[in-house]
C-alpha cells in the first residue's frame, strides 16, 4: 500500500497533573482538539499555515508543532519536508495542553506520512522539543496523553523517558477556562523549592490511590485521592474563584478536580454526562459572578491520542 | 453454629515502604509468621503467655498484641476476656513487621471468637494501637497488609483511616535480616524534615509506576519503579553492606528492593523461586563477608493476612 501524500489529524486537549500527580499524570480529552493537515513534499524543511485567528508563529523554529517536526526530521535520513496547516481548536494558554496537542498532532501526522516508522515513545520525545519551546522545560505530562491517549504516567524523563499508558474508566470531564492569563513560567516560579516530608507522603499516598482508583474503576477512591496538597495551594492565588469553583462543583456531584496543568483552567472529574454538565454550569457560575469571561468544555476521556482521521 | 472458645491464628510478616512508598505501601509475606492461640474467658482483661525465648512483656498494657486486644475490648460491650499464647516466628526488631503481626494476629483471633463483628478496617484501627506502643507512632503500613494480605496502600490516616487492598502479582520475596539493631525511633530521626520538590516528584512518579506495575503484573515496570530517592539514602548509613547487597541481588536477577520498613532487613522482589533463592544467597554473602550474623527468608506474597488456621 503506497504511503499517503497528505493526512488530517485530530490531536486532543489534555489535563496534566490531574490533582495530586504534578509533573507525572496526564489525561486525554475527547474535546476540544486541534486539527492538523500535513502534506509531504520533496523540499526539505517545514512550512506552516494557520487556519485560525490566534496569530501563532509560522517560523517553524518558533512554533511548537514546527519544532516538533524539525526534531522528527532530524531523525529521518531521506530528503523530505512538510507543509502544515493548523486549525487550533484548543485555545493557547488555556492550560489544557494546547501546545502539546499541536506538537503531538504534527509528529503523529508526519509518522503516518513516513510509514509509521517511529514508536509512540519516540513521538513523545519529538513532541517534547515543542514543549521545551513553549514552556522553557522539556516535559511530557501533556504530550504523553496527547500521543498515547487515556491516562498516562510520566515515570521518568532521565536517564530515559519512561511513559506508562493506562486505560481510564468511564469518566466525564468538565473544564472551565476563565479568560485570565497565567504564563507557565510564572506558574513554576510560585512553586515551593522543598516540601515537608509529611506532606510529600500524603501526596504520594494520593498518587497511589489515584492510580489504583483508575485501574480498578473505583470512583470513591478516585474521589478521595485527587487532592493536591503541594502545588495547588501555591498556585491557588493565581486563579480567583478557584476555591468557590471547587465547592460548587463538589456540591453539584463532581468526584473532585483541581487546576489543569499550570492553569488557569479548572477541571472536575465526574461519573456521568448529566453530572458533568451540572458541574460545568456550577464552575461557570463562579466566573460569571466574578465578571470573568470563560469557556466551558464537557467530554469523555479519549482512549486514543492524536490520530489520523482522513487522508 | 456456636462460636469457638479458642482459635489458632497465623499472622504474617510484612514489608512496609516497599521501596518508594514510605509510610504508604505494605506487602504481606507467606513466611515467616507469628502463631497466636487465643481463648475466650469470662474474666475481663487479657492474660499473655509467651511460648518463645524473646522475653517480651506479658503485661498487656506493655505488649503490642495486648494493647491491640485492649483496644478491641474497649469496643465490646459484654464482659469478656482473653488468654493469649504467642509464639513469635518473626524476630522482634527485624524490620519485617514483627509487632504488627502480633497485633494483627491478636485482633483477628479475637474477632473470630466474637463472631467476626468487626470489619478488617476496624481491626487495622485496633492493631494500630499496638503499633503506637511499639514505635511511638500510630501507623498502618505493616498492620494493613498483616490484616488484608496482598499489597496495601495506606491512603490516609486522617481524617479517617483509608486502606486500599490490592492483589499482588506472583512474586517471590528474598529477605536478609542482618543481626544489627536499629530502633524505629532512631530510623525516624535520620529522616529529612523536607525534601526538594523535584525529588518528591521523582518519588511519586515511582509510586505511580509501582502501583501500575502491581496491578498490571508488569515486572519490568515494577523493577524500574521500586527505587526510593528520599528515605533509603537517609537510612543507608545505618545498614552496613546495603549498597553491596543491592548490587549482588540485582546481579543475581532481582527486580529490585531496598530496606524493609525501618530496617535492618533488606528485601528483594523476584519473578520466580529459583531467582529468589539465588538472590537470598547473594544477600547473605555480603553479611557473611562482613562478619555479621544474618537470617534469610524466601517466600511468596501472602494473598491473605492473619487468619484462623485451627479452632
Higher pLDDT, B3 or A37: A37
Report the alpha-carbon distance of residue A294 to residue A304 in Å, rounded.
Answer: 27
> In sequence order, what are the residues at sequence separation of 6 or more whose Cβ sits closer than 8 angstroms to the Cβ of residue B219?
B169, B213, B255, B271
Q: Is the pLDDT of residue A185 over 80?
A: no
DSSP helix/strand/coil, B147:
helix
Q: Read off the pLDDT band of A135 (50, 70, 90).
A: confident
pLDDT per position as a tens digit, A43-83? 989 999 999 889 899 999 999 999 999 999 999 999 999 99
Residues A164-192: what's their mean pLDDT? 91
Question: Across all residues in chain B, what is the average pLDDT?
Answer: 95
pLDDT per position as a tens digit, A202-236? 999 999 999 999 999 999 999 999 999 999 999 99
Q: What is the pLDDT of residue B93?
A: 87
Please state, for a pLDDT cut of 90, what percent of chain B lies above it. 89
Report which of B104, B142, B155 is spatially closest to residue B15, judged by C-alpha positions. Answer: B142
Tell me whether residues B212 and A215 touch, CB distance under 8 A.
yes
One DSSP character per residue, B279-308 reads HHHHHHHHHHHHT--EEEEEEEB-SS-SEE
Report the alpha-carbon distance of residue A300 to residue A272 in Å, rounded.
Answer: 9
In degrees and rounded to multiples of 5, residue A138 shows phi and psi of: -80, 105
Topology of the domain covering B172-300: Alpha-Beta Plaits (3.30.70)
Q: Give the number of C-alpha atoms closer than 13 A to the C-alpha of residue B207, restricted to the C-beta side.
A: 38
Domain limits, chain B:
6-166+302-310, 172-300
Q: Which CATH number fits domain A172-298: 3.30.70.100, 3.10.20.30, 3.40.80.10, 3.30.70.890?
A: 3.30.70.890
Distance from CA of A157 to the nearest CA of B (A): 9
DSSP helix/strand/coil, B262:
coil
Residues A145 and A104 sit within 8 Å (Cβ to Cβ): no
Report the alpha-carbon distance of residue A150 to residue A15 in Å, rounded.
Answer: 11
Topology of the domain covering B6-166+302-310: Ribosomal Protein S5; domain 2 (3.30.230)
Question: Across all residues in chain A, what is the average pLDDT?
Answer: 95
Task: Write down the ipTM of this complex.
Answer: 0.96
Residues B14 and B96 sit within 8 Å (Cβ to Cβ): yes
Report which of A234, A266, A236 is spatially closest to residue A249, judged by C-alpha positions. Answer: A266
> Which of B25, B197, B212 is the closest to A192 by Cβ?
B197
Measured CB to CB, residues of chain A less than 8 Å from chain B are: 20-25, 153-156, 162, 164, 166, 191-197, 200-212, 215-216, 221, 224-225, 230
Report the alpha-carbon distance of residue B242 to residue B264 in Å, rounded.
Answer: 9
Chain B residues with CB-CB distance to A24 below 8 A? 201, 204-205, 208
Higher pLDDT, B1 or A276: A276
- Is B161 a catalytic site residue? no
Topology of the domain covering A6-168+302-310: Ribosomal Protein S5; domain 2 (3.30.230)
Q: What is the pLDDT of residue A111?
A: 98
Pairing type for strands A25-41 and A151-156 reads antiparallel
pLDDT per position as a tens digit, B109-134? 999 999 999 999 999 999 999 888 88
Chain B residues with CB-CB distance to A221 below 8 A? 155, 164
Least confident range of B8-12, B187-191, B269-273? B187-191
- Is A161 a catalytic site residue? no
The C-alpha cell 544477600 sits at: B283
Amino acid at each position: 500500500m503506497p504511503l499517503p501524500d497528505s493526512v488530517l489529524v485530530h490531536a486532543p486537549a489534555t489535563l496534566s497533573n490531574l490533582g495530586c500527580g504534578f509533573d507525572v499524570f496526564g489525561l486525554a480529552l475527547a474535546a476540544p482538539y486541534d486539527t492538523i493537515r500535513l502534506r509531504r513534499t520533496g523540499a526539505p524543511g517545514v512550512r506552516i499555515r494557520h487556519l485560525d485567528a490566534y496569530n501563532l508563529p509560522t517560523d517553524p523554529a518558533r512554533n511548537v508543532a514546527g519544532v516538533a517536526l524539525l526534531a522528527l526530521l532530524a531523525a529521518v535520513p531521506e530528503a523530505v519536508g512538510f507543509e502544515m496547516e493548523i486549525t487550533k481548536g484548543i485555545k493557547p494558554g488555556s492550560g489544557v495542553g494546547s501546545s502539546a496537542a499541536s506538537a503531538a498532532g504534527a509528529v503523529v501526522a508526519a509518522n503516518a506520512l513516513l510509514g509509521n516508522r517511529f514508536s509512540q515513545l519516540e513521538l513523545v520525545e519529538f513532541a517534547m522539543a515543542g514543549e521545551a519551546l513553549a514552556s522553557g522545560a522539556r516535559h511530557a505530562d501533556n504530550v504523553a496523553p496527547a500521543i498515547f491517549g487515556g491516562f498516562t504516567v510520566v515515570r521518568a524523563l532521565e536517564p530515559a523517558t519512561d511513559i506508562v499508558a493506562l486505560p481510564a474508566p468511564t469518566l466525564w470531564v468538565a473544564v472551565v477556562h476563565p479568560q485570565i492569563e497565567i504564563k507557565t513560567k510564572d506558574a513554576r516560579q510560585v512553586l515551593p523549592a522543598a516540601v515537608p516530608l509529611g506532606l510529600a507522603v500524603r501526596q504520594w499516598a494520593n498518587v497511589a490511590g489515584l492510580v489504583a482508583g483508575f485501574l480498578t474503576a473505583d470512583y470513591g477512591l478516585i474521589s478521595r485521592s485527587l487532592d493536591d496538597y503541594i502545588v495547588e495551594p501555591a498556585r491557588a492565588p493565581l486563579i480567583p474563584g478557584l476555591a468557590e469553583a471547587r465547592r460548587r462543583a463538589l456540591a453539584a456531584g463532581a468526584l473532585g478536580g483541581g487546576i489543569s496543568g499550570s492553569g488557569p483552567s479548572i477541571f472536575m472529574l465526574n461519573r456521568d454526562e448529566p453530572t458533568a454538565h451540572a458541574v460545568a454550569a456550577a464552575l461557570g457560575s463562579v466566573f460569571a459572578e466574578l465578571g470573568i469571561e470563560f469557556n466551558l468544555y464537557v467530554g469523555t476521556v479519549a482512549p486514543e491520542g492524536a490520530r489520523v482521521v482522513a487522508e
